[in-house]
Structure formats: structure tokens, C-alpha cells
Amino acid sequence: MFARSSVAVFLPQCGQVRNMATLKDITIRLKSIKNIQKITKSMKMVAAAKYARAEKSLKPARVYGTGALALYEKADIKAPEDKNKHLIIGVSSDRGLCGAIHSNVAKAMKSELSKLTGSGKEVMLVNVGDKLRGLLHRTHSKHFLINCKEVGRKPPTFTDASLIATELLNSGYEFDQGTIVYNRFRSVISYKTDEKPLFSMDTVANSENIGIYDDIDADVLRNYQEFALVNIIYYSLKESTTSEQSARMTAMDSASKNASEMIDKLTLTFNRTRQAVITKELIEIISGAAAL
Amino acid sequence: MFAARFALRRVLPAVRQARWYADPPATASQMSFTFASPTEVFFKDASVKQVDVPTLTGAFGILPSHVPTLQVLRPGVVTVFSEDGSSTKYFVSSGSVTVNADSSVQLLAEEAVTLDNLDLATAKANLEKAQADLGTVSDEAARAEVLISIEANEAIVKALE
């Protein structure tokens, strides 16, 4: 008895000693991992279907978006350096389990924001997607202008983009220059976090090349700018959703693969343990019989 | 002999500096036309002869080498005349048109359909309903919506007749 109690005291000092997992523990673990694998497999198929749909509607949206940005590129409109009020729009979604989609956008937004506040500019953020709000909430909540929820459940439409743009224009924040951060879709397995510039009406009106364009008055320019803003938001929403669905597909696929690897390993351990238990019982029976 | 050649070389650059008028722009004959709505692309960098657009300041036709301009569309019919002379009509609800210096035209419409997708009877019914609503609504935003509805329906009816 003394020997046993001294062993009980001795155990913590020599570090962890792992108990042999019982058959019951392994069975429970195996069942739960099999369930998880089923879930991730079905999530992958759902993401694949949504991705196919999103990619099909991305083709016209891309032509539309590049058409909307064409003026700013061809007229070579650049924002003057000394303007103070900036705006950063981050486009993402509400739902997780899609890899590094949200954190990439948040990282780009954070670095842009610190660069701008470092040079003394005033910056406000627009978060399209609840995940971005959660990621930036701790450190940059005083820069939040607008937060958008219920993004990502259904495919984005032009109406959604116009709602966001209306909120932005009604918020009263007269920004001089802006950036929109989104994930540009490259292929099924790759996307890239990209930034596109947004210009205010004054920047466009005072740009040097705008004189080439004939017969423009302030009203027409304002309508044109507002429409262009909606177009850019729509384009980035479409690209973002396609990237997100493809990333979710990849993430769920690798999760299913990891789960099946774990199942294989655990099944081997289970069989080994089962054989060990049977051998132990046999030995006990044999040695017990021998004792008789 | 060397002196002669030297003198000749001195003279020649002066001759080369004769002036002439600037060349006409190289892209005079081609218009790169892109016409799209958020859900559908009708023309992408296509080469067409002429495009008629209805804008807030009036309808005008765009040919290659049109002076660069930015315009906002009003509800109406866009007619595209292609290179072989045939024309197609589309009804647009609103949008913007950009003509750039290099003769590229971007026509972005919020909603655009071909005329055979529109029904004259429904348009007339909607127009009458909107005109009736005009008398009853008093709120600014609702009044603006009714006016827009009237304008759009009138344009549809005019296009189909």
C-alpha cells in the first residue's frame, strides 16, 4: 500500500504519462470525425454549386466593371496628394470557413489605414460583411462609417450595390479620395486581394484631362460619378463572392482530406488496441487457468 | 572634298525641318464599342458604324471620332448600326455613356432589353396607373418614384408604337 501511494505522489514529478486510450474513447472519436467528414464533404459540394453559378455571372459583370473604370484609366485621373479625407471600403462577407478571404482584406485595410493616418489624413471605413467588422472591431472601431450585414447568403445584385452606395452618399462623409479592397478572382485555386481607386467629384472635375470631354456640367458629372460608384461596388461584390466560394470549396476539400487521413490512422490504432485487449484477456485467462 | 561633305551635312538638317500639318488620328475609322448591363453583355469592344443614345440633354448619335464626352442616359431606345448596315434596338432604363479620346465608347445601362421583350399593353396599363398615382401621393420620395415610373412607361410606349 505504501508503494502504491508513493507511486501516486511520484507521478506528477516525472511529467505526463499517457494512459492507453480505451476502445470506447477511440470509437467515440472515430464516430465524431466521420460525421465531420460528411459535413465538410457536403459543404464542399454546396460551395462548388454556388461557385459555378457565381463564375457564370462574373463574366458579364467583369465587362461591366472594366467599362465603368475605363474613364478613370483613359483620362488618367490621379488624385492630388494633399487631400485629407479618405475612405476605405472593404468587401467580404458574413460567413466563415473560407480560408484566408476575410483576413486578407482586413490586413490590406489595416495597412492602408495605418499608412494614411501616419501621414495625418482622416480615414473612415466601410465594412461590407460582418466578418470584417469583427476583425477590425477591437482596434479601429472609431473609424467605422458603415457596416453591412447579410452579405454572402444570396448572390449579390445591382440593387445591393446601389443600397450600399446610397447609404454611403447619404452618410454625409465628403471623401476626397477612396480605395475599395476586394478579392479578385483569378482561378478556382487562386485569388488575389486587389485595390481599386475611387475618386470624388471634385477630383474628376479638376483633373487635367477632363477638359477633353465635351459638354459636361456639374449635374451630369454628379449623376455619372454616383452611377460609377455603384458600378465599382457591384463589380467588387461579384469578384469577392466568386473568390469566396472557390476558397470555401478548397478549404472544405482539404478539411475532408485531413479528416479521412485521421480516420485511417484512428482505425489502425483501434484495430491495434482491439487486438491488444483480446491478447491481454487471453493471457489473463491462460495465466489464471495455470494458477488453478 | 571633306569640306564639301561637311557643308552638305550642315545644310541637310535644315531641309529636314520643313513643317507640315499634323496627321489625322490613326483610329479615325474604328470605334471600340462596349455595351453592357450588370447581368448581360451585348457588345464588347465591337466595331460598329453608329450608336444612337437617349441622354438627359437629348438624343444624339455617336460615330467614330466623336468628340469625347460623358453623358447620363434617360429611359429610351438605343439603336446600334453595325458595319453591315443592319440596326438593332434596345430599351435602356438608365445608365451612362462615355466616349473617350481614342474612339472607344462604353455604354453602361442599368437595365437593357431588346424591344421584343416588352409588352405594349402592360406598359400602357402601368402608365395609366402611374398617372393616377401622381394625384394621390404627397411624399417627396414617393412623388419622385411616380414621376420616374411615368417617364419610363411613356418611353416604353413610344418605343413600341
Tell me whether residues B69 and A70 touch, CB distance under 8 A.
no
Q: Which of A241-245, A264-268, B33-37, B153-157 has the lowest mean pLDDT?
A: B153-157
A103: left (phi over 0), alpha (psi -120 to 50) or beta: alpha
A contacts of B57 (beta carbons < 8 Å): 215, 220
B95 contacts A227? CB cut-off 8 A: yes
- Grid coordinates representing A98 are 473560407
Contacts of A155 by beta carbon, 8 Å cutoff, 6+ apart? A50, A53, A54, A57, A241
The answer to whether the Cβ–Cβ distance between B38 and A61 falls below 8 Å is yes
Distance CA(B66)–CA(B125), nearest Å, equals 39
The strand pairing partners of A192, in sequence order, are: A184
Q: Is A213 part of the contact surface with chain B (CB cutoff 8 Å)?
A: yes
* Bridge partners for B96 per DSSP: B72, B108
Averaged pLDDT of chain B: 81
Nearest CA in chain B to A219: B72
pLDDT at B54 over 70: yes
What's residue A206's pLDDT?
80
Nearest to B108 among A68, A74, A221 (CB): A68
pLDDT of residue B20: 67
| Residues of chain B neighbouring A199 (CB-CB closer than 8 A) | none
Across the range B55-62, mean pLDDT stands at 87
From the candidates B35, B103, B106, which should be mutated to test the interface with A, based on the most A CB atoms within 10 A? B106
ipTM of this model?
Answer: 0.77
For residue B139, is pLDDT > 80? yes
How close does chain B come to A224, measured CA to CA in Å? 6
Beta carbons of A212 and B102 less than 8 Å apart: no
Q: What is the mean pLDDT of residues B96-118?
A: 89
Q: Are B118 and B155 in contact (CB under 8 A)?
A: no
Cα distance between residue A67 and residue A71, in whole Å: 8
A59 shares contact with chain B (CB less than 8 Å):
yes
Please indicate whether, in this complex, the C-beta atoms of A220 and B34 are within 8 angstroms of each other.
Answer: no
DSSP β-bridge partners for residue A191 = A185
Q: Report strand pairing: B32-37 vs B58-62.
A: unpaired
Cβ–Cβ contact A158 with B under 8 A? yes
Give the pLDDT confidence score for residue B22 in this predicted structure: 62
- Chain A residues in contact with B38 by the CB 8 A cut-off are 60-61, 64, 157-158, 231, 234
Give dist(CA A67, CA B34) in Å, integer. 7
Choose between B22 and B132: higher pLDDT. B132
What does the pLDDT read at residue A184?
95
Task: Inform me whether the pLDDT recorded for B27 exceeds 50.
Answer: no
From chain A, the residues in CB contact with B69 under 8 A are 213-216
Pairwise CA distance, residues A91 & A182, whole Å:
5
A&B contacts, CB < 8 Å: 80
Subunit contact A70:B100, Cβ cutoff 8 A: yes
Tell me how close the Cα of B4 comes to any Cα of chain A, in angstroms. 50
Q: What is the mean pLDDT of each run of 10 residues along chain A (292 residues)?
A: 49 54 92 97 96 94 91 80 87 93 95 92 93 93 92 92 93 89 95 92 80 80 90 95 96 97 96 95 90 75
A220–B37 C-beta distance less than 8 A: no
> Which chain A residues touch B72 with a CB distance below 8 Å?
220, 223-224, 227
Q: Which residues of B lie closer than 8 Å to A, measured between beta carbons? A: 34, 36-41, 44, 56-57, 67-72, 94-96, 98-102, 104, 106, 108, 110
Q: Which helix (H) or strand (E) covers residue A34, if one does?
A: helix A23-74
A69 touches chain B (CB under 8 A): no
Q: Do A220 and B72 touch (CB under 8 A)?
A: yes
Q: Which residues, other chains included, contact A198 with Cβ-Cβ below 8 Å and sequence gap of 6+?
A: A87, A89, A175, A177, A178, A179, A180, A229, A232
A214 lies within 8 A of chain B by CB: yes
Say whether pLDDT at B43 is over 80: yes
Tell me the three state secondary structure of residue A77.
coil
Amino acid at the residue A276: A
CA-based nearest distance A213→chain B, Å? 4
* Amino acid type, B31: M
